[in-house]
């Protein structure tokens, strides 16, 4: 455990009120809100989105995710580790190489998984593309959404949740934190239906492995941003 703390920048970690608050927010509150907000028919929800409501939804998402980031920041501040304790290190050129390699491998694997799910009667929702705005201003907003997701979701689900589950639980391996964080990440994308939950949980697993392998949050942030940003140009 001492080696793990040193390696991840958490040598001075101490539990605080915000540690428990963050774990409750990320493991319980965030997933419940996502499932409740989706309702019983995510496909119908996406089909009925107007551009005006979509813009409101995207702005609300940005505000909500930065609010979660704020609570995460309070957590690392009172825990005595700062953002270094969740993987914010000096950005390097190799981080971009890791991100590019990850995106290539992840998209190949996830495409195969989506194909397999379709073959067993669990096709991905074809309406996901309806989340992409069609107006010029909406597309600019989408870039802000992609940047927000890249930073805030990676801090929350990889940098914070992975390390804090291991620290609080005094766990000797990453296995349980990886499983929990991946499932929570998938549930928080409940609007994509059951097939989407499976695919996104798998994606979360791959992001977790990337974070553990590199020891830095930057490859995850870069890859996450470009994955979402590319949705403006790649048909769904």
Which pLDDT tens digit goes with each residue over 19-57?
A: 999 999 999 999 998 887 665 566 666 667 778 888 898
Predicted local confidence at residue 33, as pLDDT: 86
CB atoms within 10 A of CB 63: 11
pLDDT over 90 percentage in the chain: 70
Q: Report which DSSP code applies to 48.
A: T
pTM surpassing 0.85? Answer: yes
The residue that leads in pLDDT, 164 or 52, is 164
pLDDT of 144 > 90? The answer is yes
Predicted local confidence at residue 52, as pLDDT: 82
**Structural domain boundaries of the chain?**
2-83+111-232
- Residue 82, SS3 per DSSP: coil
Rounded distance between C-alpha atoms, residue 166 and residue 19, angstroms: 12
- Work out the mean pLDDT of the chain and round it to a whole number: 91
Predicted local confidence at residue 40, as pLDDT: 57
CA–chain centroid gap for 42, Å, is 19
pLDDT of 14 > 80? The answer is yes
Mean pLDDT is lowest, of 102-111, 135-144, 155-164, for 135-144
- Residue 158, SS3 per DSSP: helix
The residue that leads in pLDDT, 13 or 190, is 13
Q: What is the mean pLDDT of residues 154-176?
A: 96
The residue that leads in pLDDT, 23 or 136, is 23
Q: What is the mean pLDDT of residues 168-172?
A: 93
Predicted local confidence at residue 191, as pLDDT: 76
- Residue 42, SS3 per DSSP: helix
Predicted local confidence at residue 26, as pLDDT: 96
Radius of gyration of the chain (CA): 18
Which pLDDT tens digit goes with each residue over 49-100?
A: 778 888 898 999 999 999 999 999 999 999 999 999 999 999 999 999 999 9
Rounded distance between C-alpha atoms, residue 134 and residue 3, angstroms: 49
Question: Where residue 161 falls among pLDDT bands split at 50, 70, 90?
Answer: very high
Which pLDDT tens digit goes with each residue over 174-230?
A: 999 999 999 999 998 877 788 889 999 999 999 999 999 999 999 999 999 999 999
Is the distance from CB of 87 to CB of 215 less than 8 angstroms? yes
Rounded distance between C-alpha atoms, residue 225 and residue 130, angstroms: 19
How many residues does this entry show for the chain?
236
pLDDT over 70 percentage in the chain: 92
CA angle in degrees (0–180, nearest 5) for 186-187-189: 70
């Amino acid at each position: 455990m001492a080696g793990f703390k040193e390696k991840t920048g958490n040598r001075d970690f101490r539990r605080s009120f915000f540690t428990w608050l963050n774990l409750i927010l990320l493991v319980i509150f965030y997933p419940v809100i996502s499932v409740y907000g989706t309702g019983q028919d995510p496909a119908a929800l996406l089909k009925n989105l107007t551009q005006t409501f979509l813009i409101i939804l995207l702005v609300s998402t940005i505000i909500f995710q930065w609010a979660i980031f704020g609570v995460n920041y309070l957590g690392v501040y009172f825990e005595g580790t700062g953002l270094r304790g969740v993987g914010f290190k000096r950005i390097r050129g190799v981080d971009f190489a890791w991100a590019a390699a990850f995106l290539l491998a992840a998209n190949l694997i996830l495409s195969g998984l989506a194909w397999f799910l379709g073959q067993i009667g669990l096709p991905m929702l074809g309406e996901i593309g309806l989340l992409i705005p069609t107006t010029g201003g909406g597309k600019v907003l989408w870039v802000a959404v992609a940047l927000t997701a890249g930073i805030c979701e990676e801090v929350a689900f990889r940098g914070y949740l992975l390390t804090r589950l291991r620290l609080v639980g005094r766990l000797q391996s990453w296995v349980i934190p990886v499983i929990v964080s991946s499932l929570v990440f998938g549930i928080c994308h409940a609007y994509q239906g059951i097939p989407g939950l499976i695919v996104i949980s798998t994606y979360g697993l791959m992001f977790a492995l990337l974070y553990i392998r590199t020891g830095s949050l930057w490859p995850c942030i870069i890859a996450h941003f470009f994955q979402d940003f590319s949705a403006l140009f790649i048909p769904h």
